[in-house]
Amino acid sequence: MASGPQPTGCFLIFTQAQLESMRDGQFSILENGKTMITYSDSGTTVTKQMGMDPRTMMVELRYALQIKDSQQYGSIDRVRVYNGLWNFRGL
């Protein structure tokens, strides 16, 4: 069984350019280690956390990009089936 979040296709409504922009923005957030934003002014503190955890968002973005342009981003990951039957007739 696959581990990690499974894609749901929630980003399929966006264009490829929008998805690539979202991916680049998400990558910079991950690169800098920012998953929560805090702002404080005059004794008031505002904290904003991402609506979707970074790992799930990257999985969703990758899935949507694979649907939009499979030539560039590869085909969708399918369940790989192992064929344990060996054909020895040719020996």
Tens-digit pLDDT profile for residues 72-89: 888 876 554 555 555 555
Helical (H) or strand (E) element with 55: helix 54-68
- What pLDDT, in 10s, does the model give residues 44-79? 888 777 677 778 888 889 899 999 988 888 887 655
Q: Count structural domains, the chain.
A: 1
In a domain, residue 81? The reply is: no
* DSSP structure class, residue 71: H
> Stretch 18-34: mean pLDDT, rounded?
82
Looking at residue 13, its amino acid is I
The domain containing residue 36 runs over which residues?
16-69
Instruction: Provide φ and ψ at 70, rounded to 5°.
Output: -70, -20
- Residues linked to residue 44 through DSSP beta bridges, in sequence order: 41
Residue 30, pLDDT > 80, answer no
**Could you give the 3-state DSSP secondary structure of residue 63?**
helix
* DSSP structure class, residue 86: -
In a domain, residue 50? The reply is: yes
What does the alpha-carbon distance between residue 46 and residue 30 come to, in Å, rounded to a whole number?
Answer: 21
Six-digit token pair at 78? 């399918």
